[in-house]
Structure 1
Amino acid sequence: MIRWIVAAGVALCIAAVGQPGGLPFTIEAVENVSAHFPGAPKLQSFAWAQWDGKWIFIGGRTTGYHGVGAADADFPRAGSNDRIWVIDPSLAKTYSFPLASLPSALTAVKDQWLSSNLLFFQDKSTLYLAGGYGANSNGKLVTYPVLSRVDLQALVKGVVAGTDTFSDTIRWTTSTLVQSAGGELLKLDDGSFYLAGGHVFTGSYRDFEAGNEQETKTASQKYLGEIRRLKLTDAGGRPYVDLIERYADPEFARRDLNAGLIILPDGHSLGAAIYGGVFTREQLNFSKPIYWDAFTSPHVDEYEQKMSAYSCATVQMFDPDSKTMYTTFFGGISRWTWDEKKSVFVQAPLVGDKTKTVYLDGMPWIDQISTLARHGGHSEEFVQSSRLGGFVGANAAFLPVAGLKRIRADAPVYDLSALRGKRTLIGYIYGGIRAFPREFPYLESSPSYSAGNVPTKPNDLILAVYITVPASRR
């Protein structure tokens, strides 16, 4: 069945947005520690997992932003990540395994694992991967109707050893229910998986632009516009996907969004949240978060989030004492920036269009860190005083350090109370796109490059993320 969701009609009493003085912690991500990880790949828009203290990367691209209105506005197979990567931070060692060496029976999986913007979710020792966009083995650019999964323990062991002792744990199936790129895949306490947002893109982005971003014989785009509640089962060693329910709303027609698990006010139950995403009819971002849990249908919040509207690295933390959920966003692309001198948000200008010499699309690259605090149904947004060590964060990942205490063992939401009274390394900003949005001499007062022509590259920085939490709550 399909259910249409009406946005919550009750306006929240929202406190004024403030500086980090209202937060019970500060976060900084300036120090580049990439030298500590020799051989680490430079990737963006990849799927990742952690097992036994090691990082696992699948899919994504080895190039920068695809651009607009130019010859590089495409996703050639040559720019795909064609290896499975495992990094052991404790030993500063990097291992990889070529996708081409997987059995021919897994051709569909190999194609999918070469794609970018996959939806993925780690459920204990299993990594699920859904959808993704890229060029298949026949050279056709598609969004994959593929769901695959792999046992992480076997995968890590095989990649580290350099032998295929893991492909027999890979299972896959095809279903249009998981055909999406730029969405998110989450699992809640009811055992259901939720596929949220994204789009189905076919053909090249260059052809799509040439057709004035309208559907043609060579390129098309369709936003899912819904959140799907799915049941994933296994029979005879093959996964199956069944639809339980669809939740539809115009606000759900977004892609390249941020999403994550949250802890509900009871201090234990899981919920889910979506933040930002693109594109509205005005070619801008969505600003209202979407929340739901295992027993409550997705609903659109009334709060208007300002910062980091596009997929970026995030970290989720919960304070069990105050019952407050904190989601921190690292850079990326934003409709707004924060003016520290005036203590106000500044909306990015809209100038020209893709055909003009000067074109500002209203969504610039940023180097700021923001935190959305949610307590008792009320939200407040803060901007950290420390900036990132570069214009990074877009299509990146926050990789927590091993042993960082979680509220629940099965969910990457971290216990803020365990960090009180100290400055702690909690993880790293890894991968994504590094942008250089200002012209020489690269100052904040320097002219901006036109949108789509900003010089970019795969992020070569690995930024250490530190949090400082006072000994007592404010």
Structure 2
Amino acid sequence: MLAILAGGAALAAVPAGVPFTIDVSEAVAGEFPGAPRLQSFSFAQWKGRWVFIGGRISGYHAVGGGSAEFLRADANREVWVIDTTVKPARTYHVPVTQLPPRLAVIQAQWTSTGQLYFQDGDKLYICGGYGQDEKGKWSTFDVISRVSLPELVEEVMGGGLPAESISFARSSLVQSAGGALTKLKDGYFYLVMGHSFQGSYTAFEGQGEHNSAEASQTYLSEIRKLSVKTKADGSLSVALVRKFQNETEFHRRDLNVAQFLSPAGLGFAAYGGVFTPETQLSYSKPIYVVPGSRPFVDSAFDQKMNAYTCAVLLMFSETTKTMYTTFFGGISRFRWNPLEHVYEENPRAGSKTDSTYLDGLQWSDQISTIRKDEAETIEIVHSRSLPAFVGTGAVFIPVPEV
């Protein structure tokens, strides 16, 4: 757990192109005793209580020669609440197995990784995710679930789970992992890209990463505009309003999707993601979406850094109408050389069966900001890096005063 301070010139020399500096430390772990070590989870917060559902507890699959499989034993099988209103913070957790049998599919979905999630007021929505379903079969969930955050927080802090406040629906429209879920002021949800992975990961590798009846991977290659409503019986319904397809630029997963403010209003932007079909590398063209318009691919700009799911900090200057989107670590195709002031491509060598294998997408400890205004889009790499390689699937949580 890292503390991140964004401030002015008193901290250090302000990098050219941004009106702030970034300073990062690891000095706050002691303030959150008992906090879990997770990645690729769903997150929400309610009145100073942080909620974590799903994700993995074992880090990158296949690390250290371990299994490449997404085993349930490596899944986060607890619902966590961290109460930050007290010092030090207090941590509570309850196993998902406390949910009743009628919610067996939710038990399974809430232990998956790569979930798509969005907090809408006092409700948390979770879509898809990849893992073992209620029958033990590896799949991408065709489930959207919703839970009341006030009731979830209260129940977990009391040792239970609020089964009666959980609603769900099953639909192929929400079957995605490694994508993103967001909502705009037009009242619609947007499911952004990702992929549907069915079957065992090791089986998929064993067949040369080619699709078969046993294991397959299908990229959505689209953005889906969805209507999500509550039916009379309390369950959810999902309907497709519109879909935007682009086999070239929307063939992405494990990307960053974040809100974006511009003179056109509040929308969202999609950054990076993997894997390009021809080269198996990351995508570089940001995609912008505002209500009432088609997605716009910024073909004039190439994002070099931090192209895989990572923590993202958002800031907007009302004075200059400039959006600043800052990315922390993750995985990057390039590395910034501060001495030569150039981007350097990470090397590629060998194959997955070789003792030395470099795929060109390597862990990054660097921090970059994409600055966008009406005139131009530029990328700035900050002089200070993260204190370590913190991996992917993290979130940025602002303190309440910000």
Pick the TM interval, shorter chain. Answer: over 0.9
- Measure, in 2, the Cα distance between the counterparts of 1:358 and 1:309: 23
- Measure, in 2, the Cα distance between the counterparts of 1:137 and 1:197: 25
Q: Determine if the alignment matches structure 1 residue 244 to structure 2 residue 241.
A: yes
Identity %: 49
TM-score by length of 1: 0.79
Alignment of 1:300-379 (within 5 A): 300-302=297-299, 303-376=301-374, 378-379=376-377
Kindly indicate whether the alpha-carbon contact (under 8 Å) linking 1:69 and 1:354 is maintained by their aligned counterparts in 2. no
Could you say if the C-alpha distance between residues 294 and 344 of structure 1 is closer, same or farther in structure 2, counting changes exceeding 3 Å?
Answer: same
Kindly indicate whether the alpha-carbon contact (under 8 Å) linking 1:263 and 1:271 is maintained by their aligned counterparts in 2. yes
Provide the residue aligned with 2:73 in structure 1: 78
Deviation (angstroms), 1:389: 1.4
Secondary structure, in 3 states, of the residue corresponding to 2:384? coil
Deviation (angstroms), 1:71: 5.0
Could you say if the C-alpha distance between residues 271 and 320 of structure 1 is closer, same or farther in structure 2, counting changes exceeding 3 Å?
Answer: same
Match of 2:262 among 261, 264, 269: 264
Alignment of 1:307-456 (within 5 A): 307-376=305-374, 378-404=376-402
Deviation (angstroms), 1:290: 0.4
Match of 2:62 among 52, 64, 67: 67
- Measure, in 1, the Cα distance between the counterparts of 2:206 and 2:306: 29
Q: Deviation string for 1:220-277 (max 9, x for gaps)?
A: 00000000000111111111000011100021010000001111226xx311100000
Provide the residue aligned with 1:20 in structure 2: 15
Q: Determine if the alignment matches structure 1 residue 56 to structure 2 residue 69.
A: no
Deviation (angstroms), 1:359: 1.4
CA RMSD of aligned residues (A): 1.4
Deviation (angstroms), 1:97: 1.3
Deviation (angstroms), 1:113: 0.3
- Measure, in 2, the Cα distance between the counterparts of 1:121 and 1:393: 22
Provide the residue aligned with 1:466 in structure 2: none
Q: Determine if the alignment matches structure 1 residue 30 to structure 2 residue 25.
A: yes
- Measure, in 2, the Cα distance between the counterparts of 1:194 and 1:384: 31
Q: Which amino acid aligns with 1:31?
A: E
Kindly indicate whether the alpha-carbon contact (under 8 Å) linking 2:55 and 2:111 is maintained by their aligned counterparts in 1. yes
- Measure, in 2, the Cα distance between the counterparts of 1:294 and 1:73: 40
Structure 1: runs of 5 or more not aligned: 1-18, 405-474
Provide the residue aligned with 1:280 in structure 2: 276
Deviation (angstroms), 1:403: 3.1
- Measure, in 1, the Cα distance between the counterparts of 2:25 and 2:126: 31
Deviation (angstroms), 1:387: 0.7
Match of 1:119 among 76, 92, 116: 116
Deviation (angstroms), 1:357: 2.3
Secondary structure, in 3 states, of the residue corresponding to 1:20? coil
Deviation (angstroms), 1:156: 0.5
- Measure, in 2, the Cα distance between the counterparts of 1:32 and 1:173: 42
Provide the residue aligned with 2:252 in structure 1: 254
Q: Which moved more, 1:134-143 or 1:110-119?
A: 134-143
Kindly indicate whether the alpha-carbon contact (under 8 Å) linking 1:143 and 1:201 is maintained by their aligned counterparts in 2. yes
Match of 1:128 among 95, 107, 125: 125
- Measure, in 1, the Cα distance between the counterparts of 2:266 and 2:100: 38
Provide the residue aligned with 1:9 in structure 2: none
Q: Which moved more, 1:216-225 or 1:175-184?
A: 216-225
Deviation (angstroms), 1:366: 0.9
- Measure, in 2, the Cα distance between the counterparts of 1:67 and 1:326: 35
Q: Determine if the alignment matches structure 1 residue 188 to structure 2 residue 184.
A: yes
Kindly indicate whether the alpha-carbon contact (under 8 Å) linking 1:265 and 1:324 is maintained by their aligned counterparts in 2. no
Secondary structure, in 3 states, of the residue corresponding to 2:151? helix
Q: Relative contact order (C-alpha < 8 Å, sep 6+): which is higher?
A: 1
Kindly indicate whether the alpha-carbon contact (under 8 Å) linking 1:280 and 1:286 is maintained by their aligned counterparts in 2. yes
Q: Which moved more, 1:355-364 or 1:63-72?
A: 63-72
Structure 1 stretches of 4+ with a deviation exceeding 6 A read none
Deviation (angstroms), 1:354: 1.2
- Measure, in 2, the Cα distance between the counterparts of 1:403 and 1:175: 39
Q: Which amino acid aligns with 2:312?
A: T
Secondary structure, in 3 states, of the residue corresponding to 1:95? strand
Provide the residue aligned with 2:137 in structure 1: 140
Provide the residue aligned with 1:293 in structure 2: 290
Kindly indicate whether the alpha-carbon contact (under 8 Å) linking 1:285 and 1:309 is maintained by their aligned counterparts in 2. yes
